[in-house]
Amino acid sequence: MPETFKAILVSRDADKKQSVAVTDLTDADLMEGDVTVAVEATTVNYKDGLAITGKAPVVRRWPLVPGIDFAGTVISSSNPDWRQGDKVILNGWGVGETHFGAYAAHARVKGDWLVPLPQGISAHDAMAVGTAGYTAMLSVMALERHGILPDRGPVVVTGAAGGVGSVAVSILSSLGYHVIASTGRNAESPYLINLGAAEVISRDELNQPAKPLAKERWAGGIDSVGSHTLANVLSMTSYGGAVAACGLAGGMDLPSSVAPFILRGVSLLGIDSVMAPKAVRLEAWRRIGSDLDLQKLAGLSRTIGFDGIIDAARDIVEGKIRGRVVVDM
Ligand SMILES: NC(=O)c1ccc[n+]([C@@H]2O[C@H](COP(=O)([O-])OP(=O)(O)OC[C@H]3O[C@@H](n4cnc5c(N)ncnc54)[C@H](OP(=O)(O)O)[C@@H]3O)[C@@H](O)[C@H]2O)c1
């Protein structure tokens, strides 16, 4: 009998009603790929919450094992870049959307999608970072490329108590930025200050319709919220500044004007983690290895088991999760 393992499976009935269940799979059930990985740790990202609850069309193939990122050990490989025993990380590439993902003990993927686990970082640490933290690092790198360095002035992080936000606050403060953290959960102020925020502001200051231009408050920002929040962040960005837009937790729209762009030379930097080229991923994970304080990382994550994934997925879309959730498989 082939070995079976537990997996979460999202299915759809004839009326396109989505459901989620725990099931048993074997390696023969996995999708095509040249590397099979024993998943050691995964995480619950906002996108995983959307996939499991069906709240947005993240899953585009049924049935599907969700889970957009994992860290683990190669069990078998016909890809020349990877051998049995190699420690690897996967983020994105449609895994957990169109290709069976992380919420199973084994995952079979293309070797080209994998990056090596950085030295000194465990599978658990890598998933405490997860796609949210890797996206935060891509956002920091985009600001740096645009010349938004600590000496340019404060930077704002929206959705600060969430996964992307928490890691962004932590990395930026380690790099010496004056970080203004925006949150809807005022009770999380001590947590954000502990991560390195210099100031905490209320989400309410940013979530009403934006003026074309407002008082200049920051040189740049990392926005995981979108909609009015991003519009306000842009209108409050000082001359020549830049904002990295990476999320839509508050909405996919952008009710803004061109005023910040054409009157203050502000730039809007788009961040996509899913299809980011391999060289960019390698650089982001290298920087995570060097620039992220692992002690702070421990403080911004909590660990659950496989059985807690579905509840955590429901909680994250309701904005109830603080920081990062690591799943020890
Ligand atoms: N571009 C990419 O490749 C990429 C990669 C990863 C994630 N993302 C996106 O980035 C966003 C954040 O992901 P995440 O994993 O950090 O999710 P998360 O942990 O749920 O964090 C999102 C945070 O946004 C804030 N928020 C939630 N609902 C809001 C609302 N209605 N209005 C204003 N703020 C709200 C909350 O922060 P406070 O409680 O502090 O206010 C929440 O904690 C998501 O939209 C996700 O899809 C994009």
Share the mean pLDDT of the chain: 96
Q: How much is the pLDDT for 120?
A: 87
Q: Is the pLDDT of residue 205 over 90?
A: yes
Q: Are 51 and 59 in contact (CB under 8 A)?
A: yes
The pLDDT value given to residue 295 = 85
Point out the ligand 1 atom lying closest to the alpha carbon of residue 248: 45
Average pLDDT over residues 193-222: 97
Task: Say how many Å lie between the CA of residue 246 and the centre of ligand 1.
Answer: 9
Can you give the pLDDT at residue 1? Answer: 77
48 touches 67 (CB < 8 A): yes
Q: What is the pLDDT of residues 36-75, one digit of tens each?
A: 999 999 999 999 999 999 999 999 999 999 999 999 999 9
Say what the pLDDT of residue 108 is.
Answer: 98
Return the ligand 1 atom nearest residue 132 CA: 6
The arrangement of strands across the sheet holding 179-183 comes to: 199-202, 179-183, 155-157, 218-223, 237-245, 267-270
> Could you report the per-residue pLDDT of 290-304, keeping only the tens digit for each?
888 888 888 889 999
d(CA 234, CA 255): 11
121 alpha carbon to ligand 1 midpoint, in Å?
A: 25
Q: Give the distance (Å) from ligand 1 centre to CA of residue 161.
A: 9
What is the whole-number distance in angstroms between the Cα of residue 206 and the centre of ligand 1? 15
> Quick count: other Cβ atoms within 10 Å of Cβ 81?
13
Domains located in the chain, CATH noted: 5-117+298-328 (3.90.180.10), 130-270 (3.40.50.720)
| Alpha-carbon distance values, 67 to 26, 47, 125, 282 (Å) | 17, 9, 17, 21
Query: Measuring from atom 22 of ligand 1, which residue has the nearest CA?
Result: 162
The HSE-up count of residue 220 (CA atoms within 13 Å, CB side) is 30
Contact between 252 and 226 under an 8 Å Cβ cutoff? The reply is yes
CA atoms within 13 A on the CB side of 193: 8
Angle at alpha carbon of residue 90, lines to 84 and 95, rounded to 5°: 115
Distance 251 CA to ligand 1 centre (A): 10
pLDDT at 42: 98
Which of 50, 164, 252 for mutating ligand 1's site (highest number of atoms within 8 Å of CB)?
A: 164
- Residue 265's pLDDT is 98
Mean pLDDT of 210-234: 98
Which pTM value belongs to this model? 0.93
- Residue 13 CA to ligand 1 center (angstroms) comes to 29
Q: 80 C-alpha to center of ligand 1: Å?
A: 37
Based on its alpha-carbon atoms, the radius of gyration of the chain, rounded to whole angstroms, reads 20
**185 Cα nearest atom in ligand 1:** 39
Minimal-distance CA residue to ligand 1 atom 7: 132
What pLDDT sits at residue 297? Answer: 85
**What's the CA-to-centroid distance between 19 and ligand 1, angstroms?**
24
pLDDT at 272: 97
Please name the residue whose Cα sits nearest to atom 32 of ligand 1.
250
Q: Can you tell me the mean pLDDT for 297-325?
A: 94
- Confidence band (pLDDT; 50, 70, 90) for 223? very high
Name the band, by pLDDT with cuts 50, 70 and 90, for residue 141: very high
Q: What is the pLDDT of residues 81-133, one digit of tens each?
A: 999 999 999 999 999 999 999 999 999 999 999 999 998 899 999 999 999 99
Residue 2: per-residue pLDDT: 80
Q: Whose CA is nearest to atom 30 of ligand 1?
A: 250
Q: Whose CA is nearest to atom 13 of ligand 1?
A: 46
For ligand 1, the distance from its centroid to the CA atom of residue 32, given in whole angstroms, is 31
| Structural tokens at position 252 | 């996919």
- Range in 18-32, 160-174, 249-263, 289-303 the model is least confident about: 289-303
pLDDT at 259: 98
From 44, 45, 46, 52, mutation site for ligand 1 pocket: most ligand atoms within 8 A of C-beta = 46
Ligand 1 neighbours by CB, cut-off 6 Å: 45-47, 131-132, 135, 159-165, 183-185, 203, 207, 224-225, 229, 246-250, 271-274, 316, 319, 321
Tokens of 249: 């937790």
Average pLDDT of span 151-171: 96
